[in-house]
Amino acid sequence: MPLLKFNWQKQKFMPRPMHFEIHAEDPARAVNFYQSLFGWEFKQWGNPQQEYWLITTGKEGEPGINGGLFKRRGPVPEVAQPVNAYVCTVETDNLDSYINKVKKMNGKIVVEKMAIPGVGWLCYCTDSEGNIFGMTQSDIKAK
C-alpha cells in the first residue's frame, strides 16, 4: 500500500501524544521502580479507591509528556507476547547506566542496545509490572 501524501502546512492542528499511562499489578511497586530509575514524581489523584497516580516526568516547558499510573484491570501480559499498545521511549543521557539500573531493579532488557544510525542508541526493557518501555540516548555517530 503506498504512503498517503499529506500536506502538513495546510493542517491547522496536528494531534500529538500528550499523556501516557502505565498499567500496574502492584502500583506501589511500579511507583518505586520509576521513581528509582528516572526520578519521576507521582501524586495520587482523586479518591484513594480510584488507584490513579499522576506522573510528572520533567519540568514544565521542557520537551516530553507527563502521564498516569493505575491498577491493572486484567492479567499480567505473558512473556514474549506481541505488544498491544503504544510503547513509550524515554531519552537518557547515558543509556548504559540506565540499562544497568534496570537490571539491578529486577527489570529485564528484552531488546538489547542497538544503534539507530545517525540518531543514537535504543533498547527495550520490561518494568516491575511486565510492561515494555524503551530507552534511548542521542548520538549522531551511532552505527
Mind listing the pLDDT tens digit for each residue in 21-30?
Answer: 999 999 999 9
Q: What is the pTM of this model?
A: 0.85
Measured between alpha carbons, how far is 94 from 98 in angstroms, rounded to an integer? Answer: 7
Residue 41 scores a pLDDT above 60 = yes
pLDDT value for 50: 83
pLDDT value for 133: 96
pLDDT value for 15: 81
CA angle 76, 24, 121 (to 5 degrees): 90
Three-state SS at 70? strand
Domains defined for the chain, CATH in brackets: 17-73+87-138 (3.10.180.10)
- Of 46-50, 78-82, 110-114, 127-131, the least confident: 46-50
Check if the beta carbon of residue 113 is closer than 8 Å to that of residue 92.
Answer: no
pLDDT value for 60: 93
Alpha helix segments (H runs only) across the chain: 27-38, 95-104
